[in-house]
Chains A and B, each alone.
Chain A
């Protein structure tokens, strides 16, 4: 049963036990806030300010957050916020896929003049300070009447989803040998059919991974909706913060419940695409 050792791996020794201890230490640090969030979300109103770990768990906070009661306390309907987040993120990802797949394909398949300019301009969106764009957009949106709308959010979320999808997919298209599609052309398929029959199925894992990762980052975005939405189409990230300071009253247990609900979708999605995560997080720069 002796496994071969990878570079840098060592067999068991006192040193390796110490190393495991350090790892366990990190993971206590890493997971404690999440555990605490869950515990707090299960505490009743009267116990919310206690710092004890022993208490009588209740699920009533989730009911409160998702009901009119929560809306009354925060002036944001959390159920609608969830729906808004889903619509915005799914919409933004679909738009990015529809626009991004052809562009990623063109950039991965051909060298054409301006190809790098297009790609790097798209990448620069990822690194541009958001407020540089938001302030003018705030004014433009008000003029166009799309302030605090899903359309407005889907547009601006392209800054988050587009670079991710285009860059990841380009790296997938580059990895796919051109001769596969050429073979399809010679088999008598048009370029469109060759793309659909050969290229698309092969990059399907890349499409799924990049779309889901883009979904996560769109979901987690805060600064765009903070400024570009009001109270009607607020997504969950903004809605969660409303529980913190509702009229001088603090609702820690409700905040924790709302945070937990808001954090669950990205966590679940992330765990499902873990295998593709590294390539996605590095925009295709690191392949694993």
Chain B
């Protein structure tokens, strides 16, 4: 139960730099999620906090105390490894007892140990596996055992590395719901790593998006969703990814090659990108062509090029006079070659700075209404 501070944290493996100066303050009891693609440095960050990486610059502070040079076993952190790291020669019960028996985390009588292990394994639904060895468990059971070895013990900070990644979809959803409760119950500062944006949004008090060893944005789930700092954060959240349309802004209006026009914040001109989430778009089958800019909604007409049915939802690829837009709809009646009219709330249309294809660029703001005087029809 302590705060966790990273200041200017850098880490190197051999000759490559894995982390480029992370700065982060995590409050006591906070559930903080690090989100990022593989290779972004998520696990490295956890290991730096745990003191498992030697070539580290900057500082890690736990409970206001610098951990520089402090051995892992004296840091008071518990970690669930993505590889589980269960002791293969010990049973589930012995694996969970290991931290209680080390003598550094409080004195536990055998009866207290057994009781504590019973509680945790019951919660995790692995209490019937106590006498099994890790090799006799499924991946999901191993993962829960690894999580159990963390939850069973007191710690200042919990470090959880993709603790749900190997569970099947159903169990993952159940565990996700449960983890929030566990987190609140034990009130321990938690740093949680995942590549799954839904997990991040569901669990995190705050989320940090990590990319190539740098923190791109830190904020609450709402902040990250409504005001992503750049196209990388925007694309990281949501599936399918946000549509990005290249446009050119002239006199407060950005226009794409296909003729989509939106108002941009004052002072913006030149090339920009327009970002719209596929699920923010709604669909109508009005036959009208061109794009219209209503009072608070932006509408775009186009033709359905591809309709991929994914059960409840349908993923459409719409060609709007050359702009390719992905839409997700629950309307099952849409077919390929239909002409459709897409509409989106203007506040859900993001304007980003321009960049080369494949490059990420910063967010400028949300779309604004086009001031009538400036529109030439």
Residues of A within 8 A of B (CB): 111, 177, 179-180, 182-191, 193, 197-198, 201-202
Contact = CB atoms under 8 A, between A and B. Distances in A.
Contacts, number: 63
B50 interface: yes
Contacts of B50: 182, 186
DSSP majority for the B interface?
Answer: loop
B85 A202 contact: no
B290 interface: no
Contact of A111 (B14, B78, B98, B105): B14
A193 B103 CA distance: 12
Interface in B122-167: 149, 153
Given A111-B14, A201-B89, A188 B52 contact: no
Nearest to B105: A188
B72 A185 contact: yes
Interface of B: 14, 47, 50-52, 71-73, 75, 77-79, 81, 83, 85-89, 98-99, 102-105, 149, 153
Contacts of B149: 183, 187
A177 B102 contact: no
Given A111-B14, A185-B72, A187-B98, A177 B83 contact: yes
Given A111-B14, A182-B52, A183-B79, A188 B85 contact: no
Given A111-B14, A188-B99, A188-B103, A179 B89 contact: no
Contacts of B78: 186
B85 A183 contact: yes
Contacts of A177: 83, 85
Given A182-B50, A182-B52, A182-B72, A187 B102 contact: yes
Given A180-B87, A186-B75, A189-B102, 20 more contacts: A111-B14, A177-B83, A179-B81, A179-B83, A182-B50, A182-B79, A182-B81, A182-B85, A183-B86, A183-B87, A184-B98, A185-B73, A186-B52, A187-B98, A187-B99, A187-B105, A187-B153, A188-B99, A189-B73, A198-B87
A179 B77 CA distance: 15
Contacts of B14: 111
A180 B75 CA distance: 18
Nearest to A176: B88
Contact of A202 (B79, B81, B88): B88
A-B interface, 8 closest residue pairs, ranked by CB to CB distance from nearest: A188-B102, A188-B104, A185-B72, A187-B99, A183-B85, A179-B85, A187-B98, A182-B52
